[in-house]
Structure 1
Amino acid sequence: MTTNRVWRTLSAFNSSIRRWAPLPLKNTQRQVRQVPKPLTITSWNVDALSSRPVARARHILSHILEGQRSSDIIFLQEVNLDVRASILNDPRVRSAFLTTDAEDQTAFAGVPFATMTLLSSARFASSLDSQEEGETEGGEKLELGRVFRVILPSKYGRDGLCVEIVLPTATDRVLRLINVHLDSLWDTLPYRAQQLEMLADVLHEPGCSGGIIAGDFNAVTAEDQELLEKNGLVDAWLALHGWGNLDAATWGVGVGRRDGRGPRRLDKVAMVGLEACKMEVLRPGVIELPIPKGESINSPWSDHCGLRCTFTI
């Protein structure tokens, strides 16, 4: 299946000029002798539609970045323009991450929110970095390739944000990291089926040795649960925990709903050619939100939980 793509770039914060600068790519023949240590990805739908999205997103980002469990790869969904600005202005992001969508606001045109991907500059490098700059404690940095958005059939203007990683043992092959927010609600199952088929095809293209599709799959129906296996994708959570784990839900957790809908596993990590070795659900904390009459209530950072998954190449 042919896919249409919008080519994008990764950016690093340049402290000398005080702005984000795109990282151009050039062909290299760098050979990495070591397969790097495992990588950790965290994916989180930050909930653009509830009150105080910037404050809530800051709490989520702090939860991901702080302590000894920071992630090498961060996938964020439902990022609106204000949240995007907050992320790009965050000193922790500027000092330690490469990011998509810093060059312009193209991905946010005509939609209320979009996806963003952050990559640790301690683990990843553009192909312009020198061999010496690429050395890290656990081996050399992984080299990054192209960045693009896969245009999808969608009721809501959704796409798949893809970043390529050059394989350390074969520089003519890549892995692909695809950040997704598939179409929402029950009536868009046909869209989700097409979207996942197209994205899985991207991982099976010649020259690609697999990768990850992660994010908000909006898997609200029984049919959604079958789409991963149908498209040759491994559900990382099921591979590690099976069907019986009671802590699998990522949406509607601990919240009573008027419509009676209970918790669901809407968010997923799907893999091809990689192996998950650890995975957990990250529960949101609470933030104080003002309500009329000068009072306040405690509300979760997001209506979604996050997912953290460690995998090996």
Structure 2
Amino acid sequence: MLTRFITSSLTSSSRFHSFHFSPSIRSQLHQAFPLSLNMSASISSLTGALQPPPITNQESNIYKRHPQPYHSFNGSIWVPYTSTTPTPVSPSTFPSISPTSIRLLSWNIDFMAPFGSIRMSAALTYLSNLVSSSPSSTPLVILLQEMTPRDLALIRDTEWIQKWFFVTDINAESWHGSSYGTTTLVDRRLRIAEVFRVRWYSQMDRDGLFVDLLVTRDGTGEQGREVLRLCNTHLESLVANPPIRPGQMEIAGKYLHGEKVAAALLAGDLNAIQPFDRDLHTDNGLRDAYLDLGGKEDSDDGYTWGYQSRPGTRERFGCSRMDKILYRGHLKAQAFERIGVGERVAEEERAMIRLANREDWVTDHYGVRGDFELDGAVFVEYDG
């Protein structure tokens, strides 16, 4: 999103205002980058424009836990559930799950790109193929960032999602006023204990979307129940002074190390574009699945942003490993790979998009996929 913002948003007044900055930051950007901006402006000049106010806790809801419902499709409508209502039982026709395996998919679908419905439809078709080709015994969780209300409508109406997944957000009610946000799709064979959000300190209304999945230590029964905690997040974009992402990750880390959290996974667009971003996982007691499985920083096989940006953007700003999967606790990373590489919209839609002088990639990000095994714990089975 860094260079999408520079090369696209700043060239159009309406698109500039659609990016959800606070009024103070929007004012600073207008002053620093008038619409006649020479588009060869460097990141360093953008850095100088972004001088956020000191971090304070004036907003009492920042960093606190905000419970929200998740939803299950009953054949006619999406029904909301909370931690105080019984978890819906998965249909008996579903394949049994491996009690220790989980597969995580994370993908950022650029909310500012034109032809959004076409791109999101292509993304869902691609994800459907990934789901159908995954081992039937491995439960899946899909973390999506930069969703819009239009995207959520497509998700609600998608048959394979209705059949196989709980959905945390089917509308924008939990996005605290933002025009875009996150949603998580959870395999219906997993037991959800709770869903909640934690607002980060942010100039862009970023937060963490947490889902607690019930697990138990081997042989300890009801008294040994704990959770595998998942966090879907989109950390602050761009360069700021003072930096904002370290504080966001610190709060995320505290929740991932919470009481009764046997294991945790955090994934999403971490906007890792500065040197300090490389240490944010270790600073907060987390491991990086890509690095643990042999990946190297500054390598082509690790970059998730840049290759599918607009022409000239990669040459000016390079590529980066923005999207990551981090973990801790009773988990072992088994596999990691990028997804969405080279994915384009449907063939019949490409000519129209190219005629508008736009790229026909589904999105500017590659997604990431990770396979994990619980170590010393198992998923709680349904009673029914």
**Shorter-chain TM-score category?**
0.7 to 0.9
Q: How do residues 255-294 of structure 1 correspond to structure 2 at under 5 angstroms?
A: 255=309, 256-258=311-313, 260-273=316-329, 274-282=331-339, 283-287=341-345, 288=350, 290=352
1:46 to 101, 109, 119: 109
Q: Residue 96 of structure 1 aligns with which residue?
A: 164
Deviation at 1:284, TM superposition (A): 4.0
Q: Residue 206 of structure 2 aligns with which residue?
A: 158
- Measured against aligned partners, the alpha-carbon deviations of 1:248-272 in whole angstroms (never above 9, x if no partner) come to 0000115443471111100000001
Q: How do residues 109-148 of structure 1 correspond to structure 2 at under 5 angstroms?
A: 109-121=176-188, 123-124=189-190, 143-148=191-196
Number of aligned residues: 285
Runs of 4+ in 1 over 3 A off after TM superposition: 24-28, 294-298
Q: How do residues 1-313 of structure 1 correspond to structure 2 at under 5 angstroms?
A: 3-15=63-75, 18-26=76-84, 36-66=99-129, 67-69=132-134, 72-102=140-170, 104-121=171-188, 123-124=189-190, 143-169=191-217, 171-187=224-240, 190-243=243-296, 245-255=299-309, 256-258=311-313, 260-273=316-329, 274-282=331-339, 283-287=341-345, 288=350, 290=352, 298-313=359-374
| Structure 1 range deviating more: 61-70 or 221-230 | 61-70
Unaligned runs of 5+ in 2: 1-61, 87-96, 375-384
Greater strand content: 1
CA distance in 1, matches of 2:301, 2:242: 25
Q: Residue 36 of structure 2 aligns with which residue?
A: none
Greater helix content: 2
- Measured against aligned partners, the alpha-carbon deviations of 1:80-131 in whole angstroms (never above 9, x if no partner) come to 01001111111111111101013x532234212000000111x31xxxxxxx
Decide whether aligned partners of structure 1 residues 175 and 295 sit closer, same or farther in structure 2, where only a CA change above 3 A counts. closer
Deviation at 1:187, TM superposition (A): 1.5
Deviation at 1:43, TM superposition (A): 0.1
CA distance in 2, matches of 1:289, 1:224: 39
- Measured against aligned partners, the alpha-carbon deviations of 1:8-64 in whole angstroms (never above 9, x if no partner) come to 11110011xx21001244599xxxxx9714211100001110011122122122212
CA distance in 2, matches of 1:199, 1:295: 40
Unaligned runs of 5+ in 1: 29-33, 125-142
CA contact (8 A) 2:273 2:320 kept: yes
What's the RMSD between the two structures over aligned residues? 2.5
Amino acid at match of 1:11: H
CA distance in 2, matches of 1:37, 1:173: 14
Amino acid at match of 1:57: M
SS of aligned partner of 2:360: strand
CA distance in 2, matches of 1:189, 1:40: 36
CA contact (8 A) 1:74 1:117 kept: yes
Amino acid at match of 1:93: I
Decide whether aligned partners of structure 1 residues 243 and 12 sit closer, same or farther in structure 2, where only a CA change above 3 A counts. same
Give 1 or 2 for the bigger CA radius of gyration.
Answer: 2
CA contact (8 A) 2:269 2:324 kept: yes
CA contact (8 A) 2:115 2:353 kept: no
CA distance in 1, matches of 2:227, 2:353: 50
Deviation at 1:69, TM superposition (A): 2.7
CA distance in 1, matches of 2:204, 2:358: 31
What is the TM-score of this pair, normalised by structure 1?
A: 0.84
CA contact (8 A) 1:200 1:232 kept: yes
CA distance in 1, matches of 2:173, 2:85: 26
What is the TM-score of this pair, normalised by structure 2?
A: 0.69
CA contact (8 A) 1:284 1:306 kept: no
SS of aligned partner of 1:241: coil
- Measured against aligned partners, the alpha-carbon deviations of 1:186-220 in whole angstroms (never above 9, x if no partner) come to 11672110000000110112221231110000001
CA distance in 1, matches of 2:98, 2:344: 39
| Structure 1 range deviating more: 163-172 or 190-199 | 163-172
CA distance in 2, matches of 1:14, 1:188: 48
Amino acid at match of 2:66: V
CA distance in 1, matches of 2:98, 2:187: 17
